[in-house]
């Protein structure tokens, strides 16, 4: 399912350096992002920039990264940049676009080149779908293969080309964000595709010296060339200056536009040169100045919880936003952007608080980060409604193993080395014999003996629940929803190898995932769980793990499970679904 938006084509006449004219196009006023009702959002938005240029955006309801893909047609070949994130079915969508384009052109097929802006997982996840596609050629995902394919004489100083037939694309190596990063310049439209090196939002820099060199090369490359738009592969900035959406956000109702300009590229270059590779150095006269929050590591930022490949990145980030002033040499280039260096610590905003957008959207905070208000840690009660859940509660309240052959490498149902408690047991407001829960540094953290649950005092029926968790590789825990007064309900699993196969992302005793989904150990992970009537949807770190129908439990409490493995929870938020 995808949204196919046909737009009128605006023709712009301006001289190109090679003597041609720039072919115009249109961009939508608003892109589909995701939510607030993820199940109702199309998986793809397909926008026709002009007759031979398509822009695809993957929905935030499918993956939090919401990447943009670009499909360009020539007379002899077509080129696709990137294949999407998570369980991307880009091959299906691209195949449908190609078929429609060919039908309009009166031809049977056209060879397709599948290239990549860089090699990160949220841009290559859909590659397998193209491997068996007729007439599809995959550009190798390594520097040497990319250099040879585009005939780049020297990497990264040289440039390459690919001729699609009446449409030449220039390829410029731009390592810094990733060693394999490239920019693509379309001579026909004057559009410059910059991947993750430049887009509206925080710019992640892995190799600062290379990133600066790449930015300088792009500035020199575009000198004398018409740049109609600079298009990156994400939008992470809001429409408010110096404010971006946290990583993991799927619904961005007030996001910045996609298109930037060469002016933004010039300002980026000047800002980087002013930094001289040092965090917090103020810019020279006429250049943007930087707010120094002290460069740090990614520890505690939450970034690595979403995508492990970012964990070792530099702390240098640049937030591109609108600014109140224009730089003198950019006045002819459209509005400029401010550039702000920030630390990775606290990158995603304060924990356990609601943003203005969340408040307006009807979200409520279930954990305030300071107290156990709204929660009970009670002794499990006997209940006949619960399902055998491999560490969940069975009859009599005792942890019960689900029947079935044990999986290889399955962790034990209960840990043997629980975390020592920070607060004295017996002083917390819990019943005798119940599990003990500390509030430590803004997190809910169970400890000591015995195993048990933390249960919400309120019951909920139809809702979307989000919760962040951090635990080790070998663990057994879960998030229960619609849990009756004593036990049971639907357990969304946190266990990499549950004996009966209800692994992470599954609903224990109800439905197993089709594939393998893993949380990232010792880092923050994000669950989004939707329950609407009998429709249950589970999303882990932006990837949908389960979409099923079941009617056994219609309402109940939320429970967090503790099986004497160290685990932490935070950012527990809920939005009721109103009918």
For 117-160, the DSSP string reads S---HHHHTTTHHHHT-TTEEEPPSSHHHHHHHTT-SSTTTS-E
Which band of pLDDT confidence, cut at 50, 70 and 90, is reported for residue 4?
very low
Q: Which of 287, 315, 342 is the last residue of a domain?
A: 342
Q: What is the mean pLDDT of residues 144-151?
A: 96
Q: How far apart are CA 194 and CA 182, in angstroms?
A: 7
Q: What pLDDT does 304 receive?
A: 28
Degrees (nearest 5) of the Cα angle 83, 85, 88? 70
For the chain, the distance separating the N- and C-terminal CA atoms, rounded to the nearest angstrom, is 24
Q: Are 530 and 38 in contact (CB under 8 A)?
A: yes
Q: What pLDDT does 61 receive?
A: 79
Q: Which of 317-326, 390-399, 424-433, 496-505 has the highest mean pLDDT?
A: 496-505
Least-confidence region, from 210-224, 382-396, 464-478, 503-517? 382-396
Does residue 515 fall inside a structural domain? Answer: yes
Quote the pTM value.
Answer: 0.53
Same domain as 336, residue 363: no
Q: Name the more confident of 383 and 483.
A: 483
Closest alpha carbon to 126 in 183, 78, 184, 63: 63
Q: What pLDDT does 140 receive?
A: 95
Does residue 77 fall inside a structural domain? Answer: yes
Least-confidence region, from 165-174, 186-195, 237-246, 480-489? 237-246
Same domain as 376, residue 314: no
Q: How far apart are CA 89 and CA 112, in angstroms?
A: 16
Q: What pLDDT does 151 receive?
A: 97
Is there a cis peptide before residue 479, judged by omega within 30 degrees of 0? no
Element (H, E) at 55: strand 53-58
User: Would you tell me the crossing angle of helices 262-275 and 208-222 to the nearest 10 degrees?
Assistant: 140
Q: How far apart are CA 519 and CA 306, in angstroms?
A: 9
Paired tokens of 244: 């971006």
Which band of pLDDT confidence, cut at 50, 70 and 90, is reported for residue 337?
very low
Chain centroid, CA 260 distance in Å: 21
The residue behind tokens 């793809």 is: 44
Q: Name the more confident of 495 and 33.
A: 495
Q: How far apart are CA 118 and CA 81, in angstroms?
A: 9
Which band of pLDDT confidence, cut at 50, 70 and 90, is reported for residue 40?
low
Is there a cis peptide before residue 553, judged by omega within 30 degrees of 0? no
Q: What is the CATH number of the domain that holds 438?
A: 2.60.120.560
Q: What is the mean pLDDT of residues 507-531?
A: 88
Same domain as 504, residue 409: yes
- For 129, list phi and psi in degrees, rounded to 5: -65, -20
Q: What pLDDT does 460 receive?
A: 96
Does residue 23 fall inside a structural domain? Answer: yes
Same domain as 370, residue 330: no
Decide if pLDDT at 9 tops 50.
Answer: no
Q: What pLDDT does 424 receive?
A: 62
Q: Are 115 and 122 in contact (CB under 8 A)?
A: no
Q: How far apart are CA 52 and CA 74, in angstroms?
A: 7
Q: What sign has the CA pseudo-torsion 230, 93, 90, 83?
A: negative
Same domain as 54, residue 175: yes
* Rg (the chain; Cα; Å): 26
Residue 378 structural domain: 356-576
Q: How far apart are CA 204 and CA 316, in angstroms?
A: 7
Please, which residues have CB within 8 angstroms of residue 436's CB and are 6 or more apart in sequence?
377, 421, 423, 425, 428, 430, 446, 447, 448
Same domain as 118, residue 90: yes
Same domain as 383, residue 316: no
Does residue 295 fall inside a structural domain? Answer: yes
Q: Which of 315, 342, 369 is the last residue of a domain?
A: 342
Q: How far apart are CA 228 and CA 383, in angstroms?
A: 65
Least-confidence region, from 120-129, 238-247, 296-305, 547-556? 296-305
486: left (phi over 0), alpha (psi -120 to 50) or beta: alpha
Q: How far apart are CA 379 and CA 275, in angstroms?
A: 57
Collapsing DSSP to helix, strand or coil, 12 comes out as coil
Same domain as 397, residue 310: no
Does residue 155 fall inside a structural domain? Answer: yes
Same domain as 336, residue 360: no
Q: Are 574 and 464 in contact (CB under 8 A)?
A: yes
Closest alpha carbon to 165 in 51, 100, 73, 54: 73
Q: What pLDDT does 318 receive?
A: 37
Least-confidence region, from 309-313, 365-369, 516-520, 533-537? 309-313
Q: Which of 314, 342, 370 is the last residue of a domain?
A: 342
Q: What pLDDT does 425 receive?
A: 56
Q: What pLDDT does 181 receive?
A: 97
Q: What is the mean pLDDT of residues 283-303?
A: 27
Q: What pLDDT does 468 receive?
A: 94
Least-confidence region, from 172-186, 209-223, 443-457? 443-457
Total domain count for the chain? 2
- For 482, list phi and psi in degrees, rounded to 5: 50, 45
Please, which residues have CB within 8 angstroms of residue 128's CB and are 6 or more apart in sequence?
none
Give the number of other Cβ atoms within 10 Å of residue 211's Cβ.
Answer: 25
Same domain as 362, residue 278: no
Q: How far apart are CA 170 and CA 167, in angstroms?
A: 10
Same domain as 338, residue 365: no
Least-confidence region, from 16-30, 231-245, 430-444? 16-30
Q: What is the CATH number of the domain that holds 114?
A: 3.60.15.10
Q: How far apart are CA 152 and CA 160, in angstroms?
A: 4
Across the chain, mean pLDDT equals 77
Q: What pLDDT does 392 receive?
A: 38
Degrees (nearest 5) of the Cα angle 318, 323, 328? 105
Collapsing DSSP to helix, strand or coil, 221 comes out as helix
Q: Which of 197-201, 240-244, 437-441, 446-450 has the highest mean pLDDT?
A: 197-201
Q: Concatenate the DSSP letters of all residues of 72-119 into one string.
A: EE-SS-EEEE---SSS--HHHHHHHHHHHHHHHHT-S---EEEE-S--
Q: Which of 123-137, 294-308, 436-450 has the highest mean pLDDT?
A: 123-137
Decide if pLDDT at 401 tops 90.
Answer: no
Beta-ladder partners of 114: 80, 138
Does residue 478 fall inside a structural domain? Answer: yes
Same domain as 240, residue 105: yes
Q: What pLDDT does 163 receive?
A: 98
Measured torsion, CA atoms of residues 118, 123, 127, 128, in degrees rounded to the nearest 10: 130
Classify residue 267 by its DSSP letter: H
Does residue 104 fall inside a structural domain? Answer: yes
Does residue 347 fall inside a structural domain? Answer: no
Which band of pLDDT confidence, cut at 50, 70 and 90, is reported for residue 500?
confident
């Amino acid at each position: 399912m995808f949204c196919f938006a046909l737009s009128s084509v605006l023709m712009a006449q301006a001289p190109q350096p090679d003597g041609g004219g720039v072919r115009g196009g249109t961009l939508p006023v608003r892109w589909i992002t995701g939510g607030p009702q993820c199940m109702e959002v199309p998986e793809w938005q397909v926008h026709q920039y002009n007759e031979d240029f398509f822009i695809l955006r993957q929905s935030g309801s499918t993956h939090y990264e919401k990447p943009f893909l670009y499909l360009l047609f020539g007379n002899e070949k077509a080129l696709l940049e990137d294949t999407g994130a998570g369980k991307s079915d880009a091959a299906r969508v691209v195949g449908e676009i190609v078929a429609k384009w060919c039908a309009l052109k009166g031809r049977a097929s056209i060879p397709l080149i599948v290239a990549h802006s860089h090699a990160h997982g949220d841009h290559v996840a859909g590659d397998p779908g193209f491997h068996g596609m007729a007439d599809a050629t995959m550009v190798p995902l390594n520097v040497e293969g990319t250099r040879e394919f585009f005939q780049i004489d020297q990497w990264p100083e040289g440039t390459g080309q690919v001729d699609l037939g009446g449409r030449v694309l220039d390829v410029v190596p731009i390592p810094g964000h990733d060693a394999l990063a490239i920019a693509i310049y379309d001579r026909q439209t004057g559009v410059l595709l910059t991947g993750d090196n430049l887009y509206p939002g925080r710019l992640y820099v892995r190799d600062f010296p290379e990133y600066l060199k790449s930015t300088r090369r792009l500035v020199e490359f575009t000198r004398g060339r018409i740049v109609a738009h600079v298009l990156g592969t994400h939008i992470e900035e809001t429409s408010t200056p110096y404010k971006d959406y946290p990583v993991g956000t799927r619904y961005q109702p007030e996001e910045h536009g996609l298109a930037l300009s060469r002016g933004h590229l010039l300002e980026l270059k000047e800002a980087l040169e002013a930094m001289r590779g040092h965090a917090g150095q103020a810019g020279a006269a006429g250049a943007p100045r930087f707010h120094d929050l002290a460069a740090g590591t990614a520890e505690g930022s939450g970034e690595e919880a979403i995508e492990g490949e970012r964990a070792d990145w530099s702390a240098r980030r640049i937030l591109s936003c609108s600014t109140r002033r224009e730089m003198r040499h950019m006045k002819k280039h459209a509005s400029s952007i401010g550039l702000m260096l920030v630390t990775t610590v606290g990158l995603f905003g304060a924990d356990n608080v609601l943003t203005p957008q969340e408040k307006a959207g009807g979200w409520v905070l279930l954990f305030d980060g300071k107290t156990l208000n709204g929660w009970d840690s009670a002794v499990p009660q006997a209940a006949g409604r619960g399902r055998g859940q491999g560490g969940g509660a069975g009859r009599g309240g005792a942890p019960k193993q689900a029947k079935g052959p044990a999986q290889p490498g399955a962790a034990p149902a209960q840990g043997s080395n629980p975390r020592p408690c920070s607060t004295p047991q017996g002083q917390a407001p819990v019943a005798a014999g119940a599990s003990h829960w500390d509030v430590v540094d803004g997190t809910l953290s169970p400890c000591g003996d015995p195993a048990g649950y933390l249960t919400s005092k309120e019951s909920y029926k139809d809702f979307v629940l989000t919760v962040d968790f951090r635990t080790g590789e070998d663990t057994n825990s879960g998030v229960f929803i619609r849990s009756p007064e004593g036990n049971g309900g639907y357990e969304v699993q946190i266990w990499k190898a549950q004996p009966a196969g209800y692994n992470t992302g599954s609903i224990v005793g109800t439905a197993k995932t089709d594939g393998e989904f893993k949380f990232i150990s010792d880092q923050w992970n994000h669950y989004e769980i939707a329950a609407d009537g009998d429709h249950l949807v589970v999303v882990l770190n932006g990837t949908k793990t389960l979409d099923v129908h079941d009617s056994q439990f219609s309402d109940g409490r939320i429970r967090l499970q503790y099986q004497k493995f160290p685990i932490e929870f935070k950012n527990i938020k809920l939005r009721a679904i109103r009918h």
